[in-house]
Amino acid sequence: MGNYSIRNYQQADYQKWNAFIATAKNATFLFHRDFMDYHADRFSDFSLMVYKGDDLIAVLPANTSGSIVISHQGLTYGGLVLGAATKLMEAIAIFRELLFHLYQLQKETVVLKVVPEIYHDLPSDEINYILFLAEGRLMRRDTLSVIDLQHPIGITSGRMEGVKKGIRQGLEIRETDDLKPFWNEILIPNLWDKHKTQPVHSLEEIQLLKTRFPKQIRQFDVVHQGRIVAGTTIFESNHVFHAQYISGNGQKNELGSVDFLYHHLLTAVFKDKKYFDFGISNEAQGRKLNSGLLFWKESFGARTIVHDFYEVATAHYDKLDSIAL
Protein backbone atom coordinates (compact mmCIF):
# COMPACT_ATOMS: atom_id res chain seq x y z
CA MET A 1 0.00 0.00 0.00
CA GLY A 2 2.97 2.28 -0.46
CA ASN A 3 6.61 2.47 0.47
CA TYR A 4 5.97 2.94 4.19
CA SER A 5 8.24 2.18 7.11
CA ILE A 6 7.50 2.55 10.81
CA ARG A 7 9.84 2.78 13.76
CA ASN A 8 9.78 3.80 17.38
CA TYR A 9 10.82 7.28 18.41
CA GLN A 10 14.36 7.53 19.80
CA GLN A 11 16.08 10.46 21.50
CA ALA A 12 18.09 11.01 18.33
CA ASP A 13 14.79 11.85 16.57
CA TYR A 14 14.10 14.84 18.87
CA GLN A 15 14.67 17.55 16.26
CA LYS A 16 12.89 15.71 13.45
CA TRP A 17 9.87 14.88 15.63
CA ASN A 18 9.47 18.47 16.86
CA ALA A 19 9.93 19.93 13.38
CA PHE A 20 7.12 17.69 12.14
CA ILE A 21 4.83 18.64 15.03
CA ALA A 22 5.40 22.33 14.25
CA THR A 23 3.92 21.96 10.74
CA ALA A 24 1.37 19.16 11.27
CA LYS A 25 -2.28 19.96 10.67
CA ASN A 26 -3.66 18.50 13.89
CA ALA A 27 -0.96 19.00 16.52
CA THR A 28 -0.43 21.31 19.48
CA PHE A 29 2.53 21.98 21.76
CA LEU A 30 1.45 19.03 23.94
CA PHE A 31 3.01 16.76 21.30
CA HIS A 32 6.40 18.51 21.49
CA ARG A 33 8.92 16.16 23.07
CA ASP A 34 9.75 18.75 25.74
CA PHE A 35 6.16 18.43 26.94
CA MET A 36 5.73 14.69 26.45
CA ASP A 37 9.00 13.78 28.11
CA TYR A 38 8.56 15.69 31.37
CA HIS A 39 6.80 12.61 32.77
CA ALA A 40 8.78 9.99 30.85
CA ASP A 41 9.44 8.11 34.10
CA ARG A 42 5.70 7.39 34.50
CA PHE A 43 5.05 5.86 31.09
CA SER A 44 6.75 3.39 28.79
CA ASP A 45 7.06 5.48 25.64
CA PHE A 46 5.96 3.77 22.45
CA SER A 47 5.68 6.74 20.11
CA LEU A 48 5.83 5.80 16.44
CA MET A 49 7.15 7.59 13.36
CA VAL A 50 5.81 6.77 9.89
CA TYR A 51 8.00 7.33 6.85
CA LYS A 52 7.24 7.21 3.16
CA GLY A 53 10.62 6.70 1.62
CA ASP A 54 12.81 9.20 3.44
CA ASP A 55 9.97 11.56 4.36
CA LEU A 56 8.36 11.63 7.81
CA ILE A 57 4.62 11.81 7.09
CA ALA A 58 2.91 10.92 10.39
CA VAL A 59 3.60 10.32 14.06
CA LEU A 60 1.70 8.62 16.85
CA PRO A 61 2.47 9.96 20.35
CA ALA A 62 1.98 6.88 22.48
CA ASN A 63 2.92 4.73 25.43
CA THR A 64 2.43 1.03 25.97
CA SER A 65 0.88 -1.00 28.76
CA GLY A 66 1.24 -4.71 28.13
CA SER A 67 -0.42 -5.54 24.83
CA ILE A 68 -2.18 -2.15 24.62
CA VAL A 69 -0.81 0.95 22.87
CA ILE A 70 -2.32 4.20 24.15
CA SER A 71 -2.05 7.61 22.53
CA HIS A 72 -1.18 8.96 25.14
CA GLN A 73 -1.96 8.41 28.84
CA GLY A 74 0.01 11.47 29.87
CA LEU A 75 -1.76 13.83 27.46
CA THR A 76 -5.26 15.31 27.37
CA TYR A 77 -5.65 14.14 23.78
CA GLY A 78 -3.64 12.09 21.31
CA GLY A 79 -3.99 10.26 18.06
CA LEU A 80 -2.52 10.05 14.61
CA VAL A 81 -0.72 13.31 13.79
CA LEU A 82 -0.63 14.07 10.06
CA GLY A 83 1.30 16.36 7.79
CA ALA A 84 -0.55 19.30 6.26
CA ALA A 85 -0.52 17.79 2.77
CA THR A 86 -1.92 14.39 3.79
CA LYS A 87 -5.16 13.42 2.05
CA LEU A 88 -7.77 10.92 3.15
CA MET A 89 -6.69 7.88 1.14
CA GLU A 90 -3.12 8.21 2.32
CA ALA A 91 -4.27 8.66 5.93
CA ILE A 92 -6.19 5.38 5.61
CA ALA A 93 -3.10 3.66 4.22
CA ILE A 94 -0.93 5.07 7.03
CA PHE A 95 -3.23 3.87 9.77
CA ARG A 96 -3.58 0.47 8.10
CA GLU A 97 0.21 0.12 8.18
CA LEU A 98 0.32 1.20 11.80
CA LEU A 99 -2.24 -1.40 12.82
CA PHE A 100 -0.45 -4.11 10.86
CA HIS A 101 2.89 -3.09 12.35
CA LEU A 102 1.47 -3.33 15.88
CA TYR A 103 -0.30 -6.60 15.09
CA GLN A 104 3.03 -8.09 14.06
CA LEU A 105 4.50 -6.90 17.37
CA GLN A 106 1.66 -8.73 19.18
CA LYS A 107 0.06 -5.54 20.40
CA GLU A 108 -3.64 -6.33 20.51
CA THR A 109 -5.32 -2.96 20.92
CA VAL A 110 -4.78 0.73 20.20
CA VAL A 111 -6.53 3.37 22.32
CA LEU A 112 -6.87 6.82 20.74
CA LYS A 113 -7.95 10.01 22.50
CA VAL A 114 -8.97 11.85 19.35
CA VAL A 115 -7.79 15.47 19.09
CA PRO A 116 -10.91 17.71 19.22
CA GLU A 117 -11.37 19.52 15.93
CA ILE A 118 -11.10 23.00 17.48
CA TYR A 119 -7.39 22.29 17.97
CA HIS A 120 -6.78 21.48 14.29
CA ASP A 121 -4.92 23.97 12.10
CA LEU A 122 -6.60 22.47 9.01
CA PRO A 123 -9.60 20.14 8.57
CA SER A 124 -8.37 16.80 9.89
CA ASP A 125 -11.12 14.37 10.86
CA GLU A 126 -9.57 11.54 8.86
CA ILE A 127 -9.04 9.42 11.97
CA ASN A 128 -12.74 9.59 12.88
CA TYR A 129 -13.64 8.07 9.52
CA ILE A 130 -10.81 5.56 9.69
CA LEU A 131 -11.92 4.33 13.11
CA PHE A 132 -15.40 3.81 11.69
CA LEU A 133 -13.96 1.72 8.86
CA ALA A 134 -11.78 -0.26 11.25
CA GLU A 135 -14.75 -0.92 13.54
CA GLY A 136 -13.21 0.93 16.45
CA ARG A 137 -15.27 0.95 19.64
CA LEU A 138 -16.28 4.24 21.23
CA MET A 139 -15.24 3.58 24.82
CA ARG A 140 -15.65 7.05 26.32
CA ARG A 141 -17.11 10.40 25.30
CA ASP A 142 -16.40 13.56 27.28
CA THR A 143 -18.04 16.93 26.76
CA LEU A 144 -15.96 20.07 26.35
CA SER A 145 -17.57 23.40 27.18
CA VAL A 146 -16.37 25.70 24.40
CA ILE A 147 -16.95 29.35 23.52
CA ASP A 148 -16.73 30.41 19.88
CA LEU A 149 -15.08 33.77 20.46
CA GLN A 150 -15.83 35.00 16.95
CA HIS A 151 -19.57 34.34 17.49
CA PRO A 152 -20.09 34.64 21.25
CA ILE A 153 -23.46 33.95 22.80
CA GLY A 154 -22.83 36.34 25.67
CA ILE A 155 -22.45 36.19 29.42
CA THR A 156 -25.52 35.86 31.64
CA SER A 157 -26.60 38.56 34.05
CA GLY A 158 -25.70 36.26 36.95
CA ARG A 159 -22.10 36.09 35.84
CA MET A 160 -22.01 39.83 35.23
CA GLU A 161 -23.05 40.36 38.84
CA GLY A 162 -19.87 38.54 39.82
CA VAL A 163 -17.87 40.76 37.49
CA LYS A 164 -19.40 43.87 39.09
CA LYS A 165 -18.51 42.56 42.55
CA GLY A 166 -14.91 42.21 41.42
CA ILE A 167 -14.87 45.80 40.19
CA ARG A 168 -16.38 47.09 43.43
CA GLN A 169 -13.85 45.12 45.48
CA GLY A 170 -10.97 46.58 43.49
CA LEU A 171 -9.65 43.22 42.31
CA GLU A 172 -6.49 43.16 40.20
CA ILE A 173 -5.48 40.60 37.60
CA ARG A 174 -1.77 39.90 37.24
CA GLU A 175 -0.03 37.67 34.74
CA THR A 176 2.97 36.03 36.36
CA ASP A 177 5.69 33.49 35.68
CA ASP A 178 5.58 32.32 39.30
CA LEU A 179 2.98 29.59 39.78
CA LYS A 180 3.90 28.92 43.40
CA PRO A 181 1.32 31.23 45.08
CA PHE A 182 -1.57 29.82 43.05
CA TRP A 183 -0.47 26.21 43.55
CA ASN A 184 0.32 26.42 47.26
CA GLU A 185 -2.27 28.92 48.49
CA ILE A 186 -5.27 28.21 46.25
CA LEU A 187 -5.17 25.13 44.00
CA ILE A 188 -3.65 22.42 46.22
CA PRO A 189 -5.72 23.30 49.34
CA ASN A 190 -8.96 23.49 47.33
CA LEU A 191 -8.46 20.19 45.52
CA TRP A 192 -7.60 18.44 48.74
CA ASP A 193 -10.47 19.95 50.77
CA LYS A 194 -13.10 19.24 48.10
CA HIS A 195 -11.91 16.07 46.41
CA LYS A 196 -8.97 14.69 48.42
CA THR A 197 -6.88 14.88 45.24
CA GLN A 198 -3.75 16.63 44.01
CA PRO A 199 -3.25 18.60 40.77
CA VAL A 200 -2.28 16.44 37.80
CA HIS A 201 0.95 18.47 37.62
CA SER A 202 3.03 19.02 40.72
CA LEU A 203 4.33 22.55 41.29
CA GLU A 204 7.78 21.45 40.17
CA GLU A 205 6.39 19.89 36.98
CA ILE A 206 4.25 22.86 35.97
CA GLN A 207 7.09 25.29 36.67
CA LEU A 208 9.38 23.16 34.49
CA LEU A 209 6.81 23.13 31.69
CA LYS A 210 6.31 26.87 32.08
CA THR A 211 10.03 27.46 31.52
CA ARG A 212 9.94 25.23 28.43
CA PHE A 213 6.76 26.77 27.01
CA PRO A 214 6.58 30.35 28.34
CA LYS A 215 4.28 31.56 25.55
CA GLN A 216 1.91 28.60 25.68
CA ILE A 217 1.54 28.17 29.46
CA ARG A 218 0.31 31.34 31.14
CA GLN A 219 -0.65 32.05 34.73
CA PHE A 220 -3.16 34.71 35.75
CA ASP A 221 -3.71 35.53 39.44
CA VAL A 222 -6.46 37.62 41.00
CA VAL A 223 -5.22 39.80 43.84
CA HIS A 224 -7.32 41.47 46.56
CA GLN A 225 -5.63 43.89 48.94
CA GLY A 226 -2.23 42.47 48.05
CA ARG A 227 -3.23 38.81 48.53
CA ILE A 228 -3.96 36.17 45.91
CA VAL A 229 -7.61 35.08 46.03
CA ALA A 230 -8.04 33.18 42.74
CA GLY A 231 -6.21 32.17 39.60
CA THR A 232 -6.11 30.14 36.44
CA THR A 233 -3.44 28.32 34.45
CA ILE A 234 -3.99 28.63 30.71
CA PHE A 235 -2.66 26.35 27.97
CA GLU A 236 -2.62 28.39 24.75
CA SER A 237 -2.42 26.79 21.30
CA ASN A 238 -2.77 28.34 17.85
CA HIS A 239 -6.56 28.71 17.91
CA VAL A 240 -7.62 27.84 21.45
CA PHE A 241 -6.95 28.96 24.97
CA HIS A 242 -7.78 26.23 27.45
CA ALA A 243 -8.34 26.48 31.18
CA GLN A 244 -6.05 23.78 32.56
CA TYR A 245 -6.68 24.84 36.17
CA ILE A 246 -9.24 27.23 37.73
CA SER A 247 -9.61 27.88 41.43
CA GLY A 248 -10.57 30.55 43.95
CA ASN A 249 -10.45 30.77 47.73
CA GLY A 250 -13.45 30.65 50.04
CA GLN A 251 -14.32 34.26 49.22
CA LYS A 252 -14.77 33.69 45.48
CA ASN A 253 -18.54 34.18 45.57
CA GLU A 254 -18.33 37.21 47.84
CA LEU A 255 -15.57 38.81 45.75
CA GLY A 256 -16.68 37.60 42.33
CA SER A 257 -13.03 36.76 41.73
CA VAL A 258 -13.34 33.90 39.23
CA ASP A 259 -16.13 35.58 37.25
CA PHE A 260 -14.10 38.79 37.16
CA LEU A 261 -11.01 36.90 35.97
CA TYR A 262 -12.70 35.01 33.14
CA HIS A 263 -14.64 38.00 31.91
CA HIS A 264 -11.31 39.79 31.54
CA LEU A 265 -9.65 36.89 29.73
CA LEU A 266 -12.57 36.45 27.32
CA THR A 267 -13.11 40.09 26.50
CA ALA A 268 -9.54 41.42 26.60
CA VAL A 269 -6.56 39.07 26.79
CA PHE A 270 -7.76 36.34 24.41
CA LYS A 271 -10.53 38.09 22.50
CA ASP A 272 -8.81 37.45 19.15
CA LYS A 273 -8.55 33.67 19.59
CA LYS A 274 -11.04 31.44 17.79
CA TYR A 275 -12.09 29.37 20.79
CA PHE A 276 -11.98 29.14 24.55
CA ASP A 277 -12.08 25.62 25.99
CA PHE A 278 -13.29 25.38 29.59
CA GLY A 279 -12.58 21.64 29.52
CA ILE A 280 -14.82 18.85 30.73
CA SER A 281 -17.42 18.61 33.46
CA ASN A 282 -17.50 14.83 33.26
CA GLU A 283 -16.81 12.07 35.71
CA ALA A 284 -17.10 8.27 35.57
CA GLN A 285 -15.45 7.98 32.14
CA GLY A 286 -17.84 10.50 30.60
CA ARG A 287 -21.05 8.94 31.93
CA LYS A 288 -21.75 11.51 34.67
CA LEU A 289 -21.90 15.31 34.61
CA ASN A 290 -21.03 17.77 37.34
CA SER A 291 -24.13 19.87 36.70
CA GLY A 292 -23.08 22.80 38.89
CA LEU A 293 -19.74 23.14 37.12
CA LEU A 294 -21.43 22.78 33.74
CA PHE A 295 -23.97 25.50 34.63
CA TRP A 296 -21.15 27.91 35.55
CA LYS A 297 -19.33 27.32 32.25
CA GLU A 298 -22.49 27.61 30.14
CA SER A 299 -23.41 30.86 31.85
CA PHE A 300 -20.35 32.37 30.14
CA GLY A 301 -21.79 31.29 26.79
CA ALA A 302 -20.00 27.95 26.47
CA ARG A 303 -21.65 25.17 24.50
CA THR A 304 -20.77 21.53 23.94
CA ILE A 305 -18.43 19.68 21.65
CA VAL A 306 -17.42 16.09 22.30
CA HIS A 307 -14.05 14.50 22.93
CA ASP A 308 -14.05 10.85 21.89
CA PHE A 309 -11.94 7.94 23.08
CA TYR A 310 -11.75 4.85 20.86
CA GLU A 311 -10.17 1.45 21.04
CA VAL A 312 -9.47 -0.57 17.92
CA ALA A 313 -8.11 -4.08 17.54
CA THR A 314 -4.85 -4.24 15.61
CA ALA A 315 -6.18 -7.37 13.89
CA HIS A 316 -8.65 -5.08 12.11
CA TYR A 317 -5.91 -3.76 9.83
CA ASP A 318 -7.43 -5.72 6.94
CA LYS A 319 -10.72 -3.81 7.25
CA LEU A 320 -8.87 -0.87 5.74
CA ASP A 321 -8.07 -2.80 2.55
CA SER A 322 -10.04 -2.31 -0.65
CA ILE A 323 -11.84 0.85 0.51
CA ALA A 324 -11.68 2.71 -2.80
CA LEU A 325 -14.27 1.87 -5.49
End-to-end CA distance of the chain: 15
Contact 210, 179 (CB under 8 A): yes
What's the total number of domains in the chain? 2
The predicted structure's pLDDT at residue 2: 64
Contact 48, 12 (CB under 8 A): no
Output DSSP code: residue 13.
G
In terms of domains, do 135 and 219 share one? no
In terms of domains, do 155 and 136 share one? no
In terms of domains, do 192 and 129 share one? no
Output DSSP code: residue 182.
I
In terms of domains, do 120 and 221 share one? no
How long is the chain? Answer: 325
3-state secondary structure of 29: helix
166-186 pLDDT, tens digit per residue, is: 999 999 999 999 999 999 999
The answer to whether position 249 is within a domain reads yes
Q: Where are the alpha helices (DSSP H) in 182-251?
A: 188-195, 203-212
Quote the domain boundaries for residue 175.
Answer: 151-273
The answer to whether position 24 is within a domain reads yes
In terms of domains, do 122 and 188 share one? no
Instruction: Give the angle 255-256-260 at the CA atoms, nearest 5°.
Output: 125
Q: Closest by alpha carbon to 179, among 129, 136, 214, 226?
A: 214
CATH code where residue 47 lies:
3.40.630.30
In terms of domains, do 41 and 67 share one? yes
In terms of domains, do 78 and 119 share one? yes
What residues of the chain score a pLDDT lower than 50? none
The predicted structure's pLDDT at residue 263: 96
The C-alpha atoms of residue 51 and residue 67 are separated, in whole angstroms, by 24
